[in-house]
Amino acid sequence: MSCNLIFGSIPLSLSSLRSLKELNLSSNMLKGPLTAATLSRLTSLILLDLSYNNLNGPIPDVFGNLKSIESLNLSSNRFEGPIPESISSLSNLKTLKLNANILVGSIPESFSRLRALKYVNLSQNKSGLYLPFDAMTFDDLYILY
């Protein structure tokens, strides 16, 4: 459903789609916060792409429930604040794109447990965003921005 000129907030009714594997709402005109209530029940998701919208506020700390996710793209929005610690529990995560937001603080050290990661882009955030651990501990990481 990307590039469909969908506007408004992400509807709470999406949370009823518990068997949904891929949710791509990129390049629309979505706005407002991303709520825990919307995401927490989408436990079968493998891909979540909400990039290139106008979503704002903090990234909700609900990713511990979404154990199947392999690709998470929240880039090019207006998410602000720290990166949630719960992302570090996504053991299947291969691609993480949080670039072009207003994120600050350190990347949680627990991210070093994400052994499946191959691509990480955290560029174009607030200048205070930093990596507190040795990124070379990722054996299969191909790209780190």
CATH architecture of 17-144: Alpha-Beta Horseshoe (3.80)
Sheet holding 71-73, edge to edge: 22-24, 47-49, 71-73, 95-97, 119-121, 143-144
Q: What is the pLDDT of residues 7-22, one digit of tens each?
A: 899 989 999 999 999 9
From CA 30, how far away is CA 15, in angstroms rounded? 16
How many residues in the chain?
Answer: 145
Q: Indicate yes or no: pTM above 0.85.
A: yes
Q: What are the pLDDT digits (tens) for 65-121?
A: 899 999 999 999 999 999 999 999 999 999 999 999 999 988 888 888 888 999 989
- CA–CA distance, 52 with 50 (Å, rounded to integer): 7
